[in-house]
Amino acid sequence: MSWGGYYMLTIEELQDLRDEVVDVQKQNREARREMAGYALQSYLRCLLAFGPFADISKDCFRVIKEYNAIINEENRLLSQLMETDSDVERIYHYFCELDEASEQTIEYYFKVLDDIDEACEMRDPSRGTRGKKGFYTLTETDDYRIMLDNINITFLDVMKFLDLPDEFWNYIDHRIEWAEPFEERSFHSYYVSLVQENGVIKDISVTLPPVVDLESARTCIHELKTAYEMYCLLGQFLSYEKDREITERANNTMGQFKNKLANNLKK
């Protein structure tokens, strides 16, 4: 079966991605050394100006510790990115988001050390007090992990989560209409269609979005769960009460998928 919404990188695109990731990781190693060197220089100035026990002196080592942790997290995310099966546009959008966060982070920590140096020159530790960042680093938010999980979601994840019988997939395979990308339509643009005679279900079809992120995956889960419940009622009368129960179960299943991803992030 060939399912819509499932994207794979070409060999050339994958190699380009790997080359860029290797370049960034090399830059990270250089930035780590440069940050550590600057922080140690600042610490020596603090020793002369304020002594080893001043908070501003200790902050030099905090800079090294925090920045190392951030670089480690960025390298981990980049390594996961190289394993993705998503399409190139979504990958490079994430790559740019990560690069922007990295630029903000390195600018912030160099500014912290610049302020510490100024505090040493003025013999005024208050000048080395950290200002507000105005953004979250990679170790302070799960946003970038969630974004990466989003671009890694495919229709195969939907199928695995639903775990429906092969008989259903064989039935619905040629009854799926793959509509426009999710961001160009609303949730109500995707639905299950029934062919009925006097309330008896005779046939089923479903309109789905390509799976490009969490929301489009949840939409597919909702509609396919509904379609499966209707499939189990082929040849039977569909009452209002039964229709409402099916919708409620589909809503619950859609929510369970989101909770499963959230739990995976905590592991």
Contacts of 138 (CB under 8 A, 6+ apart): 70, 73, 74, 77, 101, 105, 144
User: What amino acid occupies position 131?
Assistant: G
Give the pLDDT confidence of 104-155 residue by residue, as tens digits: 999 999 999 999 999 999 999 999 999 888 999 999 998 898 888 888 788 8
The two three-digit tokens of residue 172, written as one number: 């619905």
Task: Name the residue with higher pLDDT: 12 or 114.
Answer: 114
Work out the end-to-end distance of the chain between its first and last CA atoms, rounded to an integer number of angstroms.
33
- What pTM was computed for the model? 0.71
> What is the chain's Cα-based Rg?
26
195: β partners? 203
User: Which among 173, 63, 148 is positioned nearest to 97, based on CA atoms?
Assistant: 148
pLDDT band at 199 (very low <50, low <70, confident <90, very high): very high
Using alpha carbons, list the distances in angstroms from residue 221 to 32, 114, 136, 261, 264. 43, 52, 32, 14, 18
Supply the pLDDT for residue 82: 81
Domain ranges of the chain: 11-152, 155-266
Q: Please determine, for residue 1, whether its predicted confidence score (pLDDT) is greater than 50.
A: no
Mean pLDDT over 159-185 rounds to 86
